[in-house]
Amino acid sequence: DAGVIQSPRHEVTEMGQEVTLRCKPISGHNSLFWYRQTMMRGLELLIYFNNNVPIDDSGMPEDRFSAKMPNASFSTLKIQPSEPRDSAVYFCASSLGDRGLPDTQYFGPGTRLTVL
């Protein structure tokens, strides 16, 4: 079975532009997570979904960030407008999430975002 798929793998954009990151979770997984990794702040959770519903978005930095999960096999993280401080590696992860417990999260390869 394919793992978590993220696209694009690399994104370079200019400040002010809209950026959309995409994620396809592992088939059958009910929970999906978006993390951001930077040197300064390490790995931090942005938002997570369970059964396509956002459960906790307290990590979303500000209104410029939004995430959606229109169906069980697809999620997007959008930044509009982007700023240089958004430069980071964005990881998507999924887990079974069917027992109300912290199941093992399997991570995608990440999207390296550079905002100039």
Partner 1 sequence: AQKVTQAQTEISVVEKEDVTLDCVYETRDTTYYLFWYKQPPSGELVFLIRRNSFDEQNEISGRYSWNFQKSTSSFNFTITASQVVDSAVYFCAPSLIPGRRALTFGSGTRLQVQP
Q: How far is the CB of 108 from partner 1 (least distance, A)?
A: 8
Q: How far is the CB of 38 from partner 1 (least distance, A)?
A: 12
Query: What tokens does 21 get?
Result: 């990151």
Pick from 72, 77, 73: nearest CA to 60 = 77
User: How many residues sit close enough to partner 1 to count as binding (CB under 8 A)?
Assistant: 26
Strand 10-13 to 111-115 pairing: parallel
Under the binding rule (CB under 8 A), the answer on residue 45 touching partner 1 is yes
Question: Look-up: residue for tokens 């979303």?
Answer: 60
Which of 1, 42, 62, 71 binds partner 1 (CB under 8 A)? It is 42
Pick from 24, 112, 29: nearest CA to 76 = 24
Interaction with partner 1 in 54-83: which residues (CB under 8 A)?
Answer: 55-56
Distance CA 42, CA 29 (A): 25
Distance CA 98, CA 39 (A): 33
Q: How far is the CB of 90 from partner 1 (least distance, A)?
A: 12
Under the binding rule (CB under 8 A), the answer on residue 50 touching partner 1 is yes
Residues binding partner 1 (CB under 8 A): 31, 33, 35, 42-45, 48, 50, 55-56, 89, 91, 93, 95, 97, 100-107, 109-110
